[in-house]
Chains A and B, each alone.
Chain A
Amino acid sequence: MAFHYMLDACLNVLSPLNFLLLVLSVAAGLVMGVLPGLSATMAIALLTGLTYNVGDHQTAIIALLGVYVGAISGGCQSAILLNIPGTPASAATAMDGFPLANEGKGGLAIFIATSVSCLGTMLSVAFVLTLTPILTSFALEFKSWEFFLLSVFGILICGTLTARGNALKGWISGAAGLLVAQIGLDTVDTFPRFSYGNVNVMSGIQLIPVMIGLFGFPEIVMAFKRKTGENVLKLTSFNIREGFRIIGENVIGVVRSAFIGVGIGIIPGVGEDVGGWLSYWAMKASSGNPETFGTGNPKGVVAAETGNNACIGGAIVPVLSLAVPGSAPAAVLLAAFFTHNYRPGPLLMSESPEFVYNVAIYLMFASVAMWLLALGMARLTVRVLTVDKMILMPIIFLLCIIGSYLINYNLFDVKVMCIFGLIGLGMAYMNVPAAPFILGVVLGPMTDSNLRRALRLSDGSFLPMFGSPICAIFLAACIMMILSQTGLFSWLRRRRRNV
């Protein structure tokens, strides 16, 4: 029966109109992903409106999934080429992708990123098809304490997100991000914090303008500080075989990142961006030479891009089985499914059993289409590196402004982008990394609201924090993380060597 549904889905996607739409929507997703400010969430939301009146619901679903895969994957290109992540999901990709591009290996980095993106999506879809019931119950294991500890763990990672291993600067940056996340209506008591009666501030500081500002401004200003001529990067051609060799050497890393990505994807409310970061950290932690990360280690790109794309499958699991979205783009996708008369949730398997298989097959096709299109597109985009940055950067600046505006059609977000741009400049001068700041902004609301919710549930007692296996694992991981980053482990290692 399952096979029959899958075959149907294949035939469906291969019909000329649907196939054309798949290619177009993946391409549109890629473009949205590449452009800073236009995120996957927005791409799907825009398309939801556009497909509202599409008569054939399958066609609409194909287009929506295509744009999802495209947008999550497209972000890596601007992260690698410009050090400005196209979407929050590829912020971790910039860590090693941009240094690679500076060495002239931009093409290689994009090839690797795109290929593992495709692999990540495929692997996650395999999980969807085989493990949905188990994964669903995993999602429901996450209550307030688990969410809180997960986000604490995420924040502790900040220390490792610095190129030269200065954990303190990473933590400072992360803590600053956490504070910024507290601005606006708090999610527990709806109390306006630091809003000074301004309705815009009350809505909170949006992640995307902060990200564009922090990453974008330093690059734009830097371009004008250099002398003419220094701004043009050389572009060395690369061998596809070398790209495959690097991926082949990292099969374990790819699988590990896919596991992490699927896991993070499933957990409601934690999305693609965190998936990328955690995979990146796991890759760095398990590598023999963590000091090379952040300076152009292809492994970093492999982990980040597999991790964020694997979230796609993970995030769709609870959408299909419980009608609970696993990430922000998945939330919009869920809405789109409703718009097209599908009712994801517990009744899905009895009402439209073919739907799960349709989604899986469409995602597979979308990821292959994404691979081919993104590599084709990269041939054009890598040329961006050969453009004098004094000409390129003003254009990027304009895109940053438009991208910030389009999030809510609100000029306030443009101002936020500019303010955080100036903060980003200051941070760049002081060598404080911007990545942990972003992670702080992402995880801030989750940390704050879950801790307070958990304490309210337990009447102020911290005891339930030790009450579940997942909590215990996270607690242990947090302690390990603190010990390793304060240099205790390396101190022990050195002592043993001396003895």
Chain B
Amino acid sequence: MKIGMVLAGLAAASLTAVVAFAQGERPPNRPIPDPQSGRHFATPDTLAIQDDDFLNPAFLWVEEGEQAWNRVEGTAGQSCASCHNDATESMRGVRARMPAYHPRLQRVVTLEQQVNICRTERMGAPPLPIDSRPLNAITTYIALQSRGMPVNVDISGPARRFFDEGERFYNTRRGQLDMRCATCHEENYGRYLRADLLSQGMSNGFPTYRLKEQRVISLQFRLMGCVQDVRGEPPAMGSEAFTNLEFYLAWRAQGLPVESPSVRR
């Protein structure tokens, strides 16, 4: 298997620690054991917008998502609420444990993908494009129901393989700048990259209202930006590569409170 060969190659380069890390079923070590949310690296002005639910423009998306939750779509004549009833109860904690392993599909799915699985399989409605405004509205509304709850994804059992894939993507140098995610977010967080204060790259605030984009963005849209910033070719949003990476990132942020919808520069 390809992963095995790569790992063997790494072992030959005497990076034995990395191998034990990726292959073992025991809990992996976190490079940042006590993670800090992105809000730790945000300016007071930005936080003032986030911490006021009226001022936070992401609540425009929340309102759209709440309306979409109750709107019947598709051939089955159902809405989200037909199965899940009141989102403020049924969706509580969902954002905190996603992405999660989907036993029937035998892979890890993100919250975005799960919404589309419901739409196509239960509602008979077309899937919404990843990072589109209607999909971000629904995921922001769902994520809000978990605000303050600690991120707690399950990487055990069959999910572990996808976690390892995500970790490998995270630690692979890429792009013309030959950087891995950790180059910025583990080796240099808290330092300035031109005018930007580098964060630890924790994903607990997503979906987030990004002031640069002037809209709510999904995590995988931000990941595309990261890969482009190191002058690499990003995988598509919704791809297996980014989904596994999102799974790994969630585990990196394990224990941090869900902050969605956060506001970031």
- The answer to whether A binds B is no
**Residue positions of B touching A, CB distance < 8 A:** none
**Residue positions of A touching B, CB distance < 8 A:** none
